[in-house]
Amino acid sequence: MKTSVRLSLVASAALALTFAMAAPHARADDPGITPTSIKIGMIGSLTGPAAAWGWPTINGARMVYDAVNAQGGINGRKIELVVEDEQCAPPMALAAAKKLIHRDKVFMLHGGSCSGSILATRDEVLANEVPMMILVATMDKIVQEKPNDYIYRAFLPGSFDGKIIADFIATMPNVKRVVVVGHADEHAGARYGTLTEGLKKHGVELLGLETIETELTDATAQVLKIKDAKPDAVVLVGRPAASAVFLKDAHRLGLDVPMIGATVVDLQDLADRIGGTDALKNMYVVAVYKGPLGSEAMTPWQEMLKKYYPSDKVQASSFLGTSGALAVVEGLKKAGPDLTRAKFVEAMNGIQNLDGGPMACSLSFSAADHDGCRTGVMWGVRDGKIVVIGDRWKN
Amino acid sequence: MEIATLLSVGLSNGCLYGLVGLGLVLVYSSQGIPNFAHGELFMAGAFLAYTAIVLLGLPYFLSFLIAVVGIGLMGMLLEWLAIRPISLHRSLGRASSEVAIVLATVGLAIVLKGLARIPWGDSVRNLPTAFTTQTVTIGGVAIATQRLLIVAVTLVLTVAISVFFARAPLGKKMRATAQNPTGAKLIGIHTSNIYSATWALAAACGAIAGVLAAPLIFLHPDMGTRMLLKGFAAACLGGFGSVTGVLLGGVLMGVVEIFAGRYIATSMMDIFAPIIIILVLLFWPQGLFGARRAARV
């Protein structure tokens, strides 16, 4: 009798161990899940230097969750959101992540408007095995540095931005000498490496990097220095307000070479800030969307934003976080009704060719690669209108 | 040609720094405290003008007037609500009272910025320029019309304020109160009202700077923070006790800043203001144009 009991215990232990081995890290009591809700913590730059991207990108993602909730949720669970401000400051971002993970006990995180600040949360997120979808932060290593089993991104990483610009410049006629104008922050730094490499590969001389402040009020000194260098083109890796100031002054001071902007800026937004497209006649920008605002491809998303956030201004930055929310919803659906963090991660790793919604890219993730979006194309201004140019220059 | 271009931009930037510094100097001369909420008055002026021009569709110069008068009244109200109760608090000594008022201005800055976020959020907005013609060419140099307006308004305002302090009864009372509050009280000047008037004038100067600067730097609830630093630097350089000094200090700073950016390194431009503050406080605490004060001990 004693032997059979002992055997039963050993068999039970072995069975339990087998299940545990089959689903590593699976926890039945993962936080943030109830029979009727899934709690997601969102982090954004609601105030501070990148505040212009805060609520627009958060709401662009929230509208997807709102739409899902309006249709009854996912497997009977509605998505409950807790939003925290990171002020584009690393200590604030880390504090926000800790609060959401430990006090609010969220199931997962969706956030990050500033690369430098959200990078500070990386160790905390990985140590606590919390799945995270990056909102719009583009620094490569947030997602690409190993090990990373939990952090995903459905937005073009910064290094790809730099590569797309370098490849586009290589197709432009008579462009052999380039000056880069940009900030001295992580956001811009994410692009400089591949941009420099790409320019070198294509035989384009990099004449120098001219720094601009994020709160630039006048760019006369920078423009005059660039004019002295006589470049064939200028690459602009600046945040929207600073880029608008630079372009305004470049136009006023007669710097009329082609300018190529990173995804940080949007042509329509620049035109709104500058007050027309005159200063943008020779401007190209890496775009991540399927089409300009108002185009057929963007209309459903614009309508969705108006429906859930009618007071929000429909602007280019509004939909930068949408693809991430679409990927999260897909992952949650695929993870099934017995949701755990491990099942969600497994489901995310299995997503292939998911429509990126407003994004031009389709989303594919794997266990080895959590950067799901790798496509961007150039847009430019022709006859005062914003048009899709493609990945090669054309007149 | 390039020198002229740099001078035109440096001069107009400097005028803005001087205008912001002027508001700081007025309050400092009267009450001996730096007003850390002055950047937010600059911001509030710009947003009030935006409301009038863009949302209500009023003409530019009428909106300008509304913003200046509105923020002037707001300055008066802030003094009455937040500063006066502290200065009249008898349990505080003079030194403690000054510290408490300085802290109150820091608190006001945070509150005003937070309040601005309620209707305006964090989106960056554009204020149209005063003129539809964006640039004019003078001697082959393309100059933004808004920058010409900044220089013109600053010159007019400098003359007007100098005349006000020299001739107007209220200006004379303000000077008397600044020089000797107890003596001013003894000759029948209601110093509390004078402080309110000073805050109104300082706030109006901030609003003028905000409305003039907004088309160049875009509207945002945080737009006053950086300008406050520049204004402090201008006031330190010119001297906290001199109206013309602070404007000259601002102009000097604007011009040197842009030349340093052009011929040394553009990355120098933004660290220039704090460097000036430190150097001036170390070597010329009275500023380049301020009078050295003697203290009887």
Taking CA–CA distances from B216, the nearest residue in chain A reads A217
Taking CA–CA distances from A240, the nearest residue in chain B reads B124
Spatial contact of A376 and A263, defined as CB atoms under 8 Å apart: yes
The alpha carbon torsion through A377, A378, A381, A382 (nearest 10 deg) reads -80
Q: Testing the interface with A: which of B3, B269, B272 to mutate, by most A Cβ within 10 A?
A: B269
How far apart are the C-alpha atoms of B290 and B29, rounded to whole Å?
12
Tokens of A36: 């009727």
Residue A70, SS3 per DSSP = helix
Shortest CA gap A225–chain B (Å): 6
For chain B, the residue count is 297
* Residue A319 vs residues A123, A135, A185, A266, B28: alpha-carbon distances, Å: 28, 10, 23, 12, 47
How far apart are the C-alpha atoms of B233 and A341, rounded to whole Å?
54
Spatial contact of A73 and A33, defined as CB atoms under 8 Å apart: no
Name every residue whose Cβ is closer than 8 Å to that of residue B90 and which is 6 or more positions away in sequence.
none
Q: pLDDT value at position B123?
A: 67
How far apart are the C-alpha atoms of B79 and B262, rounded to whole Å?
42
Question: Is the previous residue joined to A147 through a cis bond, with omega within 30 degrees of 0?
Answer: yes
Tokens of A170: 């290589």
Shortest CA gap B107–chain A (Å): 17
Tokens of A267: 């042509």
pLDDT: is B171 or B120 the higher one?
B171
Q: Residue A135: count other Cβ atoms within 10 Å of its Cβ.
A: 29
Long-range contacts of B63-71 (CB under 8 A, 24+ apart): B63/B211, B64/B130, B64/B208, B64/B211, B67/B207, B67/B210, B67/B211, B68/B204, B68/B207, B68/B208, B68/B211, B69/B204, B70/B45, B70/B207, B71/B41, B71/B44, B71/B45, B71/B203, B71/B204, B71/B206, B71/B207, B71/B210
Shortest CA gap A29–chain B (Å): 39
Q: Do A224 and B6 touch (CB under 8 A)?
A: yes
Q: pLDDT value at position A351?
A: 96
Q: pLDDT value at position A26?
A: 43
Q: Computed from CA positions of residues A75, A80, A86, A88, in that sequence, does the dihedral angle turn out positive or negative?
A: positive
Q: Testing the interface with B: which of A46, A85, A213, A215 to mutate, by most B Cβ within 10 A?
A: A215
Q: Looking up tokens 């610009």, which residue turns up?
A: A165
Name every residue whose Cβ is closer than 8 Å to that of residue A122 and which is 6 or more positions away in sequence.
A142, A145, A151
Residue A209, SS3 per DSSP = strand
Mean pLDDT per block of 10 residues along chain A (395 residues) reads 50 48 52 95 83 84 97 95 91 95 96 89 96 92 93 90 91 92 81 90 91 84 92 91 89 90 84 83 89 89 96 86 96 95 97 93 94 88 85 75
Question: In the Cβ-directed half-sphere of B50, how many Cα atoms lie within 13 Å?
Answer: 21
Spatial contact of A129 and A172, defined as CB atoms under 8 Å apart: no
How far apart are the C-alpha atoms of B246 and B251, rounded to whole Å?
9
Query: Which residues 201-220 on chain B approach chain A with CB closer than 8 angstroms?
Result: 213, 216-218, 220
B120 touches chain A (CB under 8 A): no
Tokens of A250: 């470049």
Q: What is the DSSP letter of A231?
A: -
Query: What is the DSSP pairing of strand B141-144 with strand B135-138?
Result: antiparallel
Closest CA to A279 of A254, A300, A303: A254
Spatial contact of A363 and A354, defined as CB atoms under 8 Å apart: yes
Q: Looking up tokens 């937004």, which residue turns up?
A: A269
Query: What is the DSSP pairing of strand A354-355 with strand A283-287?
Result: unpaired
All residues of chain A having their beta carbon less than 8 Å from the beta carbon of residue B121 are 55
Residue by residue, DSSP assigns A312-364 as S---GGGGTTHHHHHHHHHHHHHH-SS--HHHHHHHHHT--SEE-TTBSSEE-
Q: pLDDT value at position B202?
A: 94
Selecting from B13, B117, B142 the residue whose C-beta is nearest the C-beta of A218 gives: B13
Q: Do A51 and B213 touch (CB under 8 A)?
A: no
Question: In the Cβ-directed half-sphere of A69, how many Cα atoms lie within 13 Å?
Answer: 16
Query: What is the DSSP pairing of strand A377-382 with strand A283-287?
Result: antiparallel
All residues of chain B having their beta carbon less than 8 Å from the beta carbon of residue A49 are 222
Q: Do B6 and A48 touch (CB under 8 A)?
A: no
Closest CA to A188 of A168, A170, A165: A165
Name every residue whose Cβ is closer than 8 Å to that of residue B44 and which is 6 or more positions away in sequence.
B71, B74, B112, B116, B207, B210
Span of A201-205, B53-57, B73-77, B274-278 with lowest mean pLDDT: B274-278
Q: Testing the interface with B: which of A57, A212, A217 to mutate, by most B Cβ within 10 A?
A: A217
Selecting from A211, A252, A254 the residue whose C-beta is nearest the C-beta of B267 gives: A211
pLDDT band at B293 (very low <50, low <70, confident <90, very high): low
pTM: 0.74
A6 touches chain B (CB under 8 A): no
Q: Do B266 and A52 touch (CB under 8 A)?
A: no
Selecting from A52, A212, A220 the residue whose C-beta is nearest the C-beta of B258 gives: A220
Q: pLDDT value at position A4?
A: 53
Shortest CA gap A23–chain B (Å): 44
Shortest CA gap A274–chain B (Å): 8
Q: Do B124 and A218 touch (CB under 8 A)?
A: no
Q: pLDDT value at position A12?
A: 52
B132 touches chain A (CB under 8 A): no
Q: pLDDT value at position A1?
A: 44
Q: pLDDT value at position B90?
A: 62
Query: Which residues 280-319 on chain A approach chain B with CB closer than 8 angstroms?
Result: 313, 315
Q: In what order do the strands lie in the sheet with A78-85?
A: A78-85, A37-44, A108-111, A132-134, A151-153
Taking CA–CA distances from A226, the nearest residue in chain B reads B262
Q: Do B122 and A217 touch (CB under 8 A)?
A: no
All residues of chain B having their beta carbon less than 8 Å from the beta carbon of residue A245 are 216-218
Q: Do B262 and A221 touch (CB under 8 A)?
A: yes
